[in-house]
Amino acid sequence: MKSKPLELLCYAIAAKRYALFNRSANGRIYIRKYSEHGLGHLLNPTDPEKESRYWIEQIWEMIIAYAEHRRVVRPAWMSRPAISRITASAPDLVRRFQDHKNEAYADQVKPMNFLITAHLAPLQAPAGTTGTNFQLVAPYSNDPRRWVLLPWTDYFSGKKYAITTSGDTSRNVVRVKSYADVFEEYRSHPEPKSLSPDGEPCGAATVGELARRPVFGIYPIYMGKESNRLEEVEQGTVHNWEEVRSEYQDPAADPWRTLVLPVLREMNRAELARLANVSERHISRLRNGKEMPSQGVREVLTSAAAGYAREQTGSDTSVDDLAACALYLRRIRTS
């Protein structure tokens, strides 16, 4: 006699963050498949030399238990610092660990050796630094119990720090994320690309069936695919995407021509001349595309066009100037 198939359940936090599981007759859950997205960059907190990802399965079991208001026993490793492994591939990174002249060569960090990096807790950057120019690294250790005891080096300044995952910090002691911190952030991760059941953008506490969030493009920005320093971003030693991303402006897609000028052509020429402190003739030549404005005039006229667009569409001031112009043009073109 064939047994009755078990119902397959899903618990989803956000896109790419979900687990599929069964529930037995006594209520016990069995994880069948789980996402590692947002966790896969971290080392196994029990034994980083093992490829086992059972610790992530444990994370999902706890997430589901919390959602069902069941008692959760947290494993001891959750108090350990959340650690990622990186490669000493950049010369500057290697130099940070080559000032130990008394170390034997075998014990020194050499190019392409493994290192570990800790992740700064929110609002815990030491004085004189920010979250974008501070990153702690240390020589690789396969003993998770020693991670919190290691001497850590700031990748940017070369200064030495100790770390803690709880309690007070000082000038030389930095609070970093623990696996418990990662867990709390992970299970309440918002899904801003979707709408909540009440039609508002999703937040960290949103629960229920989500809906597609309507979007429309304002103007194109061409991004380069160059991999300049991309590996450092993935490793966590570079925090600002602007340092590794190239943008290319298409003159034909300039927002001044595609968004602002069409709105200005709907407005009173004399009023625009007064606001920008230029002649009406100059306004005419600008609106006809025969001249380009100075930076100051462009800013004034863009603001004026956005104000007019907001009045016509009922948009509030929280809407970006170019977005306000785009909304107005979209409305008159579809009406």
CB of 174 within 8 A of CB of 136? yes
Q: What is the pLDDT of residue 240?
A: 67
Give 119-135 pLDDT, tens digit per residue: 999 888 888 887 778 88
* Among the ranges given (87-101, 242-256, 267-281), the one the predictor scored with the smallest mean pLDDT: 87-101
Mean pLDDT, range 160-189, rounded to an integer: 90
CB of 298 within 8 A of CB of 256? yes
Q: What is the pLDDT of residue 54?
A: 93
Q: Which of 23, 20, 22, 19 is nearest to 39 (CA)?
A: 19
Q: Would the pLDDT of 1 be above 80?
A: no
Residue 213 backbone phi and psi in degrees, to 5: -95, 115
CB of 300 within 8 A of CB of 276? yes
How far is 161 from 156, CA to CA, in rounded Å?
13
**Angle, in degrees to the nearest 10, between helices 321-334 and 295-313:** 50
Q: How many CA atoms lie within 13 A of 142 on its CB side?
A: 6
CB of 129 within 8 A of CB of 157? yes
Top-confidence residue, 5 or 148: 148
* Among the ranges given (103-117, 180-194, 221-235, 290-304), the one the predictor scored with the smallest mean pLDDT: 221-235
Q: What is the pLDDT of residue 192?
A: 85
Q: What is the pLDDT of residue 185?
A: 93
Residue 229: CB partners within 8 Å, gap ≥ 6?
A: 238, 243, 244
Question: How high does pLDDT run on average in the chain?
Answer: 87
CB of 136 within 8 A of CB of 126? no
How far is 8 from 199, CA to CA, in rounded Å?
28
Give 200-229 pLDDT, tens digit per residue: 888 888 888 889 888 877 878 777 755 556
Q: Which of 213, 174, 219 is nearest to 190 (CA)?
A: 213
Q: Which of 313, 309, 256 is nearest to 287 (CA)?
A: 256
- pLDDT over 90, % of the chain: 51
Q: What is the pLDDT of residue 157?
A: 86
Give 301-323 pLDDT, tens digit per residue: 999 999 999 999 998 888 899 99
Q: What is the pLDDT of residue 230?
A: 59
Ranges of each domain in the chain = 1-75+179-215, 83-177, 248-334
Give 87-118 pLDDT, tens digit per residue: 887 777 777 777 655 666 666 777 778 899 99
CB of 137 within 8 A of CB of 153? yes
